[in-house]
Structure 1
């Protein structure tokens, strides 16, 4: 069966015998993201097939319900983006996604993957259901060198120095911390504080072991104090989308932003150079640990045999060395393959690769908690960031309740 599959796939790539139009839905719509996804489209079109772009404006929180509704409603796309973890778990369990195990085994993905946990996140009952296309980590503080130069103070080297720089930035007319008003951004920044200030053991006890006593305990008090500092620093950041917040940093209107490494794609689109125009602090400069999350492409079950065969060609292309290099260079993320020549990697990407090579990694919360639990945390954090009357103590108590009921 696998021998026949490999032969058929080769024929389709070489001769276009199965040239098909495949709709791929995703939420890669910012400037850097659009440039990155265009590289995947180019690579797939080179097989003789056609990438039909199904971009959905907004964040994943906006796009995922639309994608899920189409799949469950009998109008599936050929492929769709989800994040690594449990977002597609129910779709897989319902038999609405097709496995791609044959391609992965034939091409030796297990030997090439840089973070094996990403393949594990794609696996259910010994079948692989998705292609990891990048390694994203949330634990980055992006700093505008221009903003600090104009404020007359040095660029911070850690979170404490960043907090201390806030008043000087405000005196210079800068927003200390750029943050969009979407719930996922506030929740993402909070989990960065947990790992980068509290350390991997605290992070694991809270998000993986779901220890509500730890979540309610003394070790989390400094984290909530830092979250209180965070919301005060971000109080003047009147933007909605994450890339709008990134643009405040790029243009020197804000001192910094806590955001995943996808933000780097926006810096590159603006022709800014890491280490010269902007500075990156993995782990907020305190604890060099990164969560290994990212994007994955899943393949809904189709009734059309030709399109089903083309799905497997797409899976092969997405994991290929050429496509991985081209896509991640534009996206700002780390490639999922460990066998690539990354001579052109910039300063921030090299820092991320060094952390990855040392094994200083943890699973992302998307892999540890359910979408429902994640939504509850997002709702809590956007309330906390937006409502200064909500005390850190009250927020911690509510957070501990959520963790106690987490699944």
Structure 2
């Protein structure tokens, strides 16, 4: 009989015990043995002082008739390694199982809800509520996502790709582009050090997934209002209820973002100096935004102040005298678009209905009009609240307050011109040849005699 087993053949050749079980040492790994019982039962065991134990004990690794000696040696090596650290392998296995169970309970749905809860805390994220609603609608609906309760670690790139492509094929290409950006940021959050500790992630499943792979592309909006649409816009405001009518006028007169206008407070308005200062915490670029008040904006604020009375709350655009900001929903915008279209077609019977538009097109209209009126690019960008380019931001510290005031005054006068003169057109002005004086128009001047 062999004194030490070297391979599986040696294990097979070991004869059954006649009376009591006996042990044969392994010839490679210390403390590993083969236990041979009566009737041909054989098992791999390890005898050692496990963890912090004072006395050696014997523990079974596995059935020697079913597992190879190499598998038994691999386990015995791990146990020896843990013993040298004073760690009991069984305790370690129990902890590992508990840890694994913890990660199994950390499902995709739970992790995504954890992430959504952090969105309002992220710097410069003023779309936290919108992003949260989008993620819940597209990735927490069991009808759309059958693997909601899958452990986060087990979610694959293919799972995400199929979900994104399903949005694309609805069809909703822009939505798919935006949602992919959101879910990619979520997975980047899960592979930060704290994320890996909490969810057991080792890599992002969408790290190699690209927009081009899924044929996603952002729609680049280029639409702006025509002069006829601006006339219809203000006429439609006249039939809308307060405060929606004044809010819509303010968006087009100032060129600011809809929520920056909707959430405006009286404390931000300096009527004496005719300026509205949007605070940094409420402005997308995380800096103060001065908005000079043109004559129609001052008139608009005066009407609202008179309507709200002396006991008004902090908000300008409000349905309860300023106590809370006015709500804004798609139904209100659909009603306004329908009214604008009705007025536009009544005034322009041969024209087609205006294409679908959003309030963001107001900002593009203001920016285009300012450029058409000769306002410098950096000033028009400042008016609508865009950041300067990096080099410009570094060296040009001018806030353009005077230039902004002049630009918004010019835009207000242009709007008045459009409303008063049905023939006035922003588009036509681009082709008008100015009648400027020029020395070239003079007749041949008399040359001095020699």
- The TM tier, using the shorter chain, reads under 0.3
Structure with the greater alpha carbon radius of gyration: 2
- Higher share in strand: 1
- TM-score, normalised relative to structure 1: 0.26
Which of the pair has the greater relative contact order for Cα pairs under 8 Å at 6+ separation? 1
